[in-house]
Amino acid sequence: MDEITKVRPAAVELDDLDTLEAESMFIIREVVAEFEHPVMLFSGGKDSVLMLQLARKAFAPAPVPFPIMHVDTGHNFREVIEFRDKVVDEYGLRLEVASVQDLIDQGIIKVGHELESRNRHQTRALLDAIKDGGFDAVFGGGRRDEDKARAKERILSFRDKFGQWDPKNQRPELWHLYNGRHKKGEHIRVFPISDWTELDVWRYLSREQIELPPIYFAHEREVVDNEGLLMAVNEFFPLPDGAESHTKMVRYRTVGDATLTGAVPSQATTYDLVIEETAVSRITERGATRGDDRFSEAAMEDRKREGYF
């Protein structure tokens, strides 16, 4: 085979995943070029794993030029924290932890009891950490297909000096011309994977053979049916009185506070099987697994207004 025939014919089309990847890399680079202190939220969940992977690609062969931040409720799945630390170590990242537990210990956040959901308290921990770290851009892994309120949010989303989002006063966002200008004390949330769907995320992670925390794949676990959510029974979710637990094959579609994130029954032990399941799933990932989004029609909008991711 001579030199010329080795060169493949000129294909000038990108498939959907390559297109999404290219657009996300563009957004991440724009922000790093125009902001002084960006930081990327990293929970160990699949969306933040994807986002971090895209950031690595955007600056290769140089390292990721910003730290990552974990908003830690103290109610973590053990496997996820192990995974987080492994990733930090492997990629040589700088990790900032915004700890809800610290704020509770300092008496800044008051909780009723130890095991109540700390989901909402993450907002305070996050906003404090943004302020203390002097961050002017915060990457988040929100996607528009997740929730109605997120479907309306800009890719670069302005936050006032109290960290608040005003959905009715959003900056228009046209073409790929992002306006991240802001005054001191204000900041911008950046959602580089806005246009990815849950299925896209899975297909991409599978294609790239990227490691995820093991709880994303089907495994045996002791669970209890609690108001329609399949909750893992552990120190964060003791078996309610009178309830009966079962050992089932389950996996997690999202990773959040362990007191309110439910599992789904699943036999999907590999990427391919998860993709199959996702493709035929008739329930959104948040509806299936998150107690926090079930409170009201506008649960996410309300939390976002206050400064939540």
Partner 1 sequence: MPATEILRIATAGSVDDGKSTLIGRLLHDTKSIFEDQLESIERTSEKRGDEQTDLALLTDGLRAEREQGITIDVAYRYFATPKRKFVIADTPGHIQYTRNMVTGASTANLALLLIDARKGVLEQTRRHALLSSLLGVPHLVLCVNKMDLVDYDQRIYDEIREEFTSFAAKLDITDLGFVPISALQGDNVVEPSPNMPWFHGQPLLGHLEDVHIASDRNLVDNRFPVQYVIRPQSAEYRDYRGFAGSVVGGIFKQGDEVMVMPSRKASKIAAIDTPDGEVAQAFPPMSVTIRLEDEVDVSRGDMICRPTNQPTASRRFEAMICWFDETSHLRTGAPYQLKHTTRWVAAEVEELRYQLNVDTLHRDLTAETLEVNDIGRVAIHTTSPLFFDEYRINRTTGSFILVDPATDLTVAAGMIISAGGDVGAVSDTASIVAENITFHPSKLSRDERWGALETSGATIWMTGLSGSGKSTIATAIEHTLVSSGRAAFMLDGDNLRHGLNANLGFSPEDRDENVRRTGEVAKILAESGTVAIVSLVSPYKAERDRVRALHEEAGIPFFEVFVDTPLEECERRDPKGLYAKARAGEIKDLTGVGSPYEAPESPDLVTSPDLEEAVRQVLALLP
What residue ranges bind partner 1 (CB under 8 A)? 7-8, 10, 12-16, 18-23, 25-26, 29-30, 32-33, 56-63, 144-145, 147-152, 167-168, 170-177, 179, 181-183, 194-195, 197, 199, 203, 281-284, 287-288, 297-298, 301-302
Kindly tell me which of 203 and 221 has the beta carbon lying closer to partner 1.
Answer: 203
Q: From the CB of 205, what's the least distance to partner 1, in Å?
A: 15
Kindly tell me which of 28 and 233 has the beta carbon lying closer to partner 1.
Answer: 28
Give the CA distances from residue 93 to residues 22, 56, 64, in Å, rounded to whole numbers and listed in that order.
Answer: 23, 11, 7
Give the CA distances from residue 22 to residues 29, 88, 200, 232, 294, in Å, rounded to whole numbers and listed in that order.
Answer: 11, 24, 14, 38, 34
Kindly tell me which of 49 and 103 has the beta carbon lying closer to partner 1.
Answer: 49
Q: From the CB of 146, what's the least distance to partner 1, in Å?
A: 11
Name every residue whose Cβ is closer than 8 Å to that of residue 170 and which is 6 or more positions away in sequence: 152, 153, 154, 157, 158
Instruction: Report the alpha-carbon distance of residue 103 to residue 121 in Å, rounded.
Output: 9
Kindly tell me which of 102 and 302 has the beta carbon lying closer to partner 1.
Answer: 302
Q: From the CB of 226, what's the least distance to partner 1, in Å?
A: 17
Q: H or E stretch including 123?
A: helix 122-133
Q: From the CB of 289, what's the least distance to partner 1, in Å?
A: 11
Instruction: Report the alpha-carbon distance of residue 92 to residue 37 in Å, rounded.
Output: 18
Identify residue 68 by its one-letter amino acid code: I
Kindly tell me which of 112 and 174 has the beta carbon lying closer to partner 1.
Answer: 174
Kindly tell me which of 70 and 290 has the beta carbon lying closer to partner 1.
Answer: 290
Q: Label residue 172 exposed, middle or buried (CB < 10 Å: 0-12, 13-18, 19+).
A: exposed
How far separated are the first and last CA of the chain, in Å rounded? 54
Structure token digits, residue 190 = 């950046």
